[in-house]
């Protein structure tokens, strides 16, 4: 299992959980997240600074993820629940409205 990191946050207007995607857009789906190698601290920091400067992303966090059967899985239970939504009762995650999408 290869350990990677992703950058995650909550979008300002909706509060929805989002991940920095490969093309700089913030996406709802963890599977679309840009993967940072653990030794690539500079790139991660640059992305974090860029994200902060949008003013549209709050509670920025770096999460450890592992690749299992081709899918990204967060290492922490908390991050798995953030990625999937509440488990009990089961609720759909918060979604971004059309005007709530954000890019860096």
Partner 1 sequence: MYRYDEFDAAFVSERVAQFSDQVRRRISGELTEDQFRPLRLMNGLYLQLHAYMLRVAVPYGTLSSRQMRMLAHIARKYDRGYGHFTTRQNIQFNWPKLRDVPEILADLASVEMHAIQTSGNCIRNVTTDQFAGAAADEIIDPRPIAEIIRQWSSLHPEFTFLPRKFKIAITGSPNDRAAVKFHDIGLMAQTNGAGQVGWAVYVGGGLGRTPMIGKQINGFVPHEHLLAYLESILRVYNRYGRRDNKYKARIKILVHEEGLETIKAQVEEEFSHVRGGILTLPQTELDRIDAYFSPPAFIDSGVVSIDVEREKILDPAFGRFLVNNTFSHARQGYTSVTVSLKPIGGAPGDATAEQMDAVADIAERFSFDELRVSHEQNLVLPHVALSELRAVYQALAEAGLAEANAGEITDTITCPGLDFCALANARSIPIAQDISRRFADPERQREIGKLKIKISGCINACGHHHVGHIGILGVEKKGTELYQITVGGDGTEDAAVGKILGPGFVADEVPDAIERLVDAYIAQRESAEEPFIAAYRRLGDAPFKEALYGNG
Q: How far is the CB of 76 from partner 1 (least distance, A)?
A: 7
Q: How far is the CB of 34 from partner 1 (least distance, A)?
A: 21
DSSP string, 26-73: EES-GGGBPPB-TT-HHHHHHHHHHHHHHS-EEEEEEEEEEEETTEEE
Quick one: 24 or 86, whose CB is closer to partner 1?
Answer: 86
Query: In sequence order, what are the beta bridge partners of 71?
Result: 68
Choosing from 5, 6, 7, 17, the residue that interacts with partner 1 (CB under 8 A) is 17
Contact 6, 72 (CB under 8 A): yes
Where in 35-74 is the site for partner 1 (CB under 8 A)?
A: 55, 58-59
Chain residues that interact with partner 1, rule: CB under 8 A:
10, 12-17, 55, 58-59, 75-78, 81-82, 85-89, 91, 93-94, 97
């Amino acid at each position: 299992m290869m350990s990677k990191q992703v950058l995650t946050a909550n979008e300002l207007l909706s509060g929805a959980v989002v991940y920095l995607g490969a093309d700089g857009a913030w996406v709802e789906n963890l599977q679309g997240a840009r993967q940072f190698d653990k030794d690539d601290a500079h790139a991660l920091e640059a992305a974090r600074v860029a994200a902060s400067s949008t003013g549209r992303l709050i509670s920025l966090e770096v999460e450890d993820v592992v690749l299992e059967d081709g899918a990204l899985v967060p290492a922490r239970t908390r991050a798995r629940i953030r990625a999937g939504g509440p488990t009990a009762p089961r609720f759909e995650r918060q979604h971004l409205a059309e005007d709530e999408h954000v890019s860096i």
